[in-house]
Every structure is written in C-alpha cells, then in structure tokens.
Structure 1
Amino acid sequence: MRSPLYLDWNATAPLRTPARAAMIAALDLIGNPSSIHGFGRKARRMIEDARDQVAALAGVPAAWITFTGGGTEANNQALALAARHGRRLLLGATEHPSVLECAGPDSAVVPVQANGLIDLDALEGLLRAGPALVSVQAVNSETGIIQPLADIAAMVHRHGGWLHSDAVQAVGRIPFNVAALGLDLVTLSAHKIGGPQGVGALLTVPSIPLSPLLRGGGQERRMRAGTENVAGIAGFGAAAEAARDGLADYRAVAALRDRLEQAVINAAPWVRVIGAGTARVANTSCLALPGQPANSQLMAFDLAGIAVSAGSACSSGKAKTSPVLAAMGFDDAIAGSAIRVSLGWDTRPDDIDRFLACYLPLAARTRPAA
C-alpha cells in the first residue's frame, strides 16, 4: 500500500521538529510558572522565551501577547470586547465559525464581493452607524484569499472603530506585521504553523482595554486565568521561530500549487478555481467540480490515501454547502462541489502528481456534453 498523503495543511500542520523538541524539554520541567522558586522560574523563562518568539513572527512587542487555549478562544476573547464597551460587532461574511457565532442581536455581517474581498462600500456604510468592533480575517481558510487589511484598518479607524483579524492562516505563510497593517487585535494559532494543537494567542495593542474571558488567577497579566500550558506554549514559540525563518519556503509551495491548478484547468477546463485572479496565499487551492458533490470526492481521495477537505476543519464532515462560497455568490452546484487542497513546507512535486492521478479521473466524469 502507498503511504498516506497529507494535503490538508490548513486544517492543521504537522508538528515541526523544533516544536517537538521544545515540548519534550518543557515536559521535563516540574515547576509551576507562577511559583517563585527556581523550578517555577525555569518554567516562567520558557514561557517568556516563547512569547518573544511569537512576537517576532507577528512583528509586535512581547507585551502585546496573551497566550490562550487556541484560536477559537482568542477570537471569542477579542469579540467579547464589543458588548463590554458598547460597540457594535461587524463581522466579515466569510469569517470562521468561531467569529460568526459570536454575533449578537446588534451585530451585522459585512458582505463580500464575488472575488471574496470585503465590500468596502458596505463596510463604510455600516461604520457610519456608530462605534464598532470589526472582525475581518487576514486569509480565508477555504479559498486562501488575502483581505486588504491595511485599507480596511484605515477605514475602520477613520470611524473610531477597532479592527480584529483572525490571522491563523496568514502568519508563517506571508509577511505579516501587525503595526504596519494597523490592526488592533489579532488571533494566532500554534497548530496552523507546525506547533501543537490547543494553544493560541491574542495580540492586543496597548490602547485596547482587553478583558479576560477566564477569571480566577493572575496568569497572563490577569488576562487569562489558569496555569499555563508550558509545553504547548514552548512548542508554539519554537514553531513561530521556524515559521519566521521558513517564509521563503512558500515560493516553492506557490510553484507547486500553480502547477496543480494549471494541470487541472488544462485537462478539465470546466473546473472552477475559486479565487483565481485574486491575491491568495501560496499553499491553498479551492477547486469546484460541478456534478460531483464534495463529500463524494473526499471519499474517493480517502480511499486513495489522500487527505483533502471541504470547508473549514471546524465544519468539515457535514453535508452542507460551504457558507464561504455561498457568501461569495456561488450557487449550490459550485459551493457544494468544492474541495480544498492545502500544501505545506515539505509538500513534494510527486505529491502533486499523485493528487492529479486521483482528481483528473473524477473531473473527467463530469465533462459537459459537447
């Protein structure tokens, strides 16, 4: 049997070797990082070293970082600020469920254009209604489309708003500097960059009055109660450093993604490449094959030992049309037939060949009548 092929990096990336080593070293520590004795100080030092590494990846001071139990928790903590400070929540239509499900009765969804980019005119109209907390993802997990965050931030700030961005699919894949983009709150996740699952971070500029979701302890500057996950945080830090050093690797990943898409279009021009012509991260391809439901495609790939997905990992496995593609205006024939192929730093050319050997026969079955 052929070895399994993993092409679902946007769901979770394989654990990096430096992250594994950092976690093993942390697991050998005994101390609670809140203890003042030597054991505790060693654990505390490991956390603060990781904070420096994550900060360097995002281009922010370490003091801006609050470690969390993952990206979903960080999103929830950021968006809870709206109700606490009397601000309306404005959420991009193609956001992750952990953002969209934070909507309250006074929230509004900002539509996207057919190319997946935020409708800036619609956003400006919503901002005129009063102070808002706006959440727009940096990169969409299904399509790889990159939002123009700097332009959005300038507009939000003109109207006295705050801008949050779920950047879990962006950092480590594209150059990402929070200050240069003008962001106020940013969500990161360790397992998207080759760190462990269950660890994330919320980056907050000092002018934003962050409040804790979890209470009952003084950890994380009283912004996140509970004894820190030292091993997970150490792995996050090591993964962040490796991701920062490996940004150039994504030029090769882009070439592989482009070769995959070109081969598909050459053989089956009726396939839709979602987001083609719009700025996208290098590793993501969303392919719609009308006439072949996404779940049927996933089963065929799984039988061939190839892991791909449909939709975000938090909603995969459910037989429903992608809300991201529906928000972009695609009908059920497109939105219900789209799969996501996501590559990583060690994806190889023969992996693309193996994907194509499975996908192209599927596509041939849906060839339109002459």
Structure 2
Amino acid sequence: MHQLKSKLPHIGRTIFTKMSQLAQEHQAINLSQGFPNFMPDKELIKYSEDALNSHRNQYAPLGGLPELRQKLSDKFYNLYHHRYDWESEITITAGATQAIFTAISALVHRDDEVIVFKPAYDCYEPAVELYGGIVKPIQLDAPEYKIPWDKVKDLISDNTKLIIINTPHNPTGYVWTEEDFKQLKAVVKDTSTYILSDEVYEHMVFDDRKHHSICKEEELARRSIVTFSFGKTYHVTGWKLGYAVAPKAMMKEFRKVHQYNVFCVNHPLQFALSKILDQPEHYLNLSKFYQQKRDRFLSLIKNSRFKCVPTQGTYFQLADYTEISDLPDNEFCIELIKTHKLATIPVSVFNHKNIQQGYIRFCFAKTDETLEQAANIIKNI
C-alpha cells in the first residue's frame, strides 16, 4: 500500500490527552485539563431535558437557533455596546475550537503569514499549517507575559494575513488592557490584516479588572472574527458548543466552511442555552465565583515551595517550580503524577520551540474538596 503522507507529521497526542491518561493510570488528582469537576446549574439541565422531550431533535438551522442568536445579539450590545446582526453576523459552532479552525480555514491561504503570541493554545498553529500558512511566533516573557508591541511592529508586513489574540489568556491568565488594544489598532492601521480574537474566558477576570473585548473597538471589530464558549461559561465543556461573531462579509466566508465542516450543531442544547441566557446573573457573577476559587487555592498553597503570581483571568494558575526541581517542566509534571499523584500541565508545550521558563499550570475549576486534596499534596512537595 502507498504510504500515507501526513499533513502534520510533527503532531502527536495533545498534552491534555497525555496528562489526563497518566492521571487515570496513576489515580492522580487531575488539575491538568481545563474542565470543571462539578455539576452545571440545575436549571440548565432541566432546560436540556425539556428540549430533548420536545420536537427539537432534528437539524438546527446552519447559523444556529434564531432565538439563541437574537439573545446573543442583545448580550453583545449590553456588554460591549456593539450590535451584531443575529441573522448574518452570529454563528453557533461545535465549541470554540471548531470556530477557531473554521475562521482560520476561511481566512488563511498558502504562504499567508499569521502572528501568534506564545505561549499559545495548541489548536492555532496546526490549523494555520494545514492551509499552507506560515506561523510567525512572538514569545512572551515570564512572569508578566505582556505583549511586546515593538516586536509586533517589526514582524508585521504586507504578507501578514492574520493576528491571533487570546484574552483572558490561556495558559498565563494575562488580561489585555485598553493600552494593548490601542497598540493593536496602530499596528494594523493601513494594513489588510485580519484578527482572530479568542475570548472564551471573557467572564473570568479578577481583582476588579474588566474584560476589554475586541467587539468594543469599532475599528478592530470591522476586521475581526471573535470566538466564545458556552462550555466555559456554563460549566458544560462536554457539550462542545460555542459561537463566532464577525462582520457580514467575513461571516459569509466563515459559513461557507462551517456548512461543510459540521453544517449545524446540537439542536436541543442550543434551546437550553437560549433559555439560560434569560438569566444574565449566571455569567455576570462568574468572575466572582472563580476569583473565590482562585483565592482559596492560592491561600491553601501559600506555604508551599511553588511561587505564584495571582492569575488575572481564566481558571488557570501558573506556578514557578524552580526552587523545587531542575527538571524540564514536562519531566517534572510526569514526576508529579507518578510520585505525588497530582496531574498538571507543563507550560513549555505552549511556548516557541518548547522554551523552558520554569512554570507549570494548575486548573482550579474544581470542587473545594478537590482543591484541598491537591493543596495537601502541593504543600508536601
């Protein structure tokens, strides 16, 4: 048989799959993969049951349920003072990852350059490479992980098709500021560069910070596809439901790919989410909910040998382990699982050329009991 030629020969299992499998094998507490281990809201579950027991088990419209998109349009206006047309500028997707992949598919042509800030979530670059694009990485420096705008200015060119941004940022927790968006405006002015803004943690920002969505920036919104996640917001990551918003012309191209990728997504669960959106307190109180978890976790491990700067957003906390071990972070994480029964994520896998910075990532979207059990282990390392 002819040998299959891989389009992604350097890609293997994701670090999340690897660490979660090791956690299961060694019966370790899993603070690696980013998912809550507690139940979602009971009302949301009831709405999903109601939908399953009604006539909502066939295909949904390609763009998503009208009532869901209409409520999202209102949400964007209320939060970010930007009105997206529900019919032509909002599409419900099979999770934010599918939305990101579809956006890259629609925008990136062979030899187009795409700027990616590292550490970066691991789905960006493979999608760019699949479509023949050229990744132009910019490595962020620990521990602050601020955007080095001078490097961005130096890297952007006539070949720059796309800049991918992520705020609040996974894995570092960095939250973009108004100054960051001011700098981004200046960088892309008088260019034909598009922006893909990954904002799945929009409702998880701490210490009185505000999430500055690119949707609020009219000049930037005109050239941006923005992706969001119901799974992150409502503690239902396994539902794999998200959405994308963009100006009409960009969304038209997005849907050309979307219709042949998934066509439409889960009908009854879209109905359930449209119902829960009538109660905005669920997402408006999410920052407070997760800040309490962050603060509890940091308080529990404050006497450990790990050094932590409180994360600004997301439900991830980075920790400097260099006072504990000289091992590379991936080896250190494997040792934590095998020796201490604790699963985490090495940050180097998100960095350019796997640069070692001495950090690992904890997920604190867990029950108090799980966080206490993990903290007892951490304090004894």
TM value normalised by structure 1? 0.71
Q: Which residue of 2 aligns with 1:309?
A: 344
8 Å CA contact 2:94, 2:240 repeated in 1: yes
Change (3 A) 1:353 1:68: closer
Q: Which residue of 2 aligns with 1:295?
A: 334
SS in 2 for 1:23: helix
User: Which one of 66, 74, 96 corresponds to residue 71 of structure 1?
Assistant: 96
Change (3 A) 1:329 1:203: same
SS in 1 for 2:250: coil
Q: Which residue of 2 aligns with 1:191?
A: 231
Q: Which residue of 1 aligns with 2:49?
A: 24
Q: Which residue of 2 aligns with 1:141?
A: 170
Please tell me whether residue 123 in structure 1 is matched to residue 141 in structure 2.
no
Q: Which residue of 1 aligns with 2:379?
A: 360
Q: Which residue of 2 aligns with 1:366?
A: none
Change (3 A) 1:22 1:157: farther
8 Å CA contact 1:138, 1:166 repeated in 2: yes
Please tell me whether residue 89 in structure 1 is matched to residue 114 in structure 2.
yes
Taking the aligned partners of 2:275 and 2:354, their CA distance within structure 1 comes to 37
Taking the aligned partners of 2:70 and 2:345, their CA distance within structure 1 comes to 35
SS in 2 for 1:211: helix
Deviations 1:239-298 (Å, cap 9, x if unpaired)?
555565443343353244234325534x23x4232xx27x61164322243328223334
C-alpha displacement of 1:66: 0.8
Identify unmatched segments of 5+ residues in structure 1.
35-39, 312-320, 363-370
Please tell me whether residue 102 in structure 1 is matched to residue 133 in structure 2.
no
Change (3 A) 1:246 1:44: same
Change (3 A) 1:168 1:134: same
Taking the aligned partners of 2:241 and 2:66, their CA distance within structure 1 comes to 15
Change (3 A) 1:249 1:172: closer
Q: Which residue of 1 aligns with 2:5?
A: none
Code of the aligned partner of 1:77: T
Greater shift in the superposed pair: 188-197 or 80-89: 80-89
Q: Which residue of 2 aligns with 1:285?
A: 317
Q: Which residue of 1 aligns with 2:4?
A: none
Code of the aligned partner of 1:232: L
Identify unmatched segments of 5+ residues in structure 2.
1-27, 78-82
Change (3 A) 1:157 1:257: same
User: Which one of 57, 65, 69 corresponds to residue 47 of structure 1?
Assistant: 65
Deviations 1:126-161 (Å, cap 9, x if unpaired)?
223445211111123333222345235413431422
SS in 1 for 2:362: strand
% same residue: 11
User: Which one of 211, 218, 226 corresponds to residue 263 of structure 2?
Assistant: 226
User: Which one of 153, 166, 177 corresponds to residue 198 of structure 2?
Assistant: 166
Deviations 1:24-75 (Å, cap 9, x if unpaired)?
12212335777xxxxx9xx999922222344444445334211112222111
SS in 1 for 2:228: strand
C-alpha displacement of 1:185: 1.0
Code of the aligned partner of 1:324: F
User: Which one of 309, 323, 333 corresponds to residue 349 of structure 2?
Assistant: 323
Q: Which residue of 2 aligns with 1:180?
A: 216
Q: Which residue of 2 aligns with 1:367?
A: none
Change (3 A) 1:140 1:249: closer
Change (3 A) 1:8 1:131: closer
Please tell me whether residue 204 in structure 1 is matched to residue 246 in structure 2.
yes
Please tell me whether residue 151 in structure 1 is matched to residue 182 in structure 2.
yes
C-alpha displacement of 1:238: 4.6
8 Å CA contact 1:91, 1:107 repeated in 2: yes
Taking the aligned partners of 1:65 and 1:145, their CA distance within structure 2 comes to 27
8 Å CA contact 1:65, 1:204 repeated in 2: yes
Taking the aligned partners of 1:95 and 1:241, their CA distance within structure 2 comes to 33
Change (3 A) 1:324 1:280: farther
Taking the aligned partners of 2:336 and 2:73, their CA distance within structure 1 comes to 40
Code of the aligned partner of 2:181: A
User: Which one of 24, 34, 42 corresponds to residue 10 of structure 1?
Assistant: 34
Taking the aligned partners of 1:324 and 1:244, their CA distance within structure 2 comes to 33
TM value normalised by structure 2? 0.69
8 Å CA contact 1:90, 1:107 repeated in 2: yes
Matched pairs, number = 322
8 Å CA contact 1:57, 1:172 repeated in 2: no
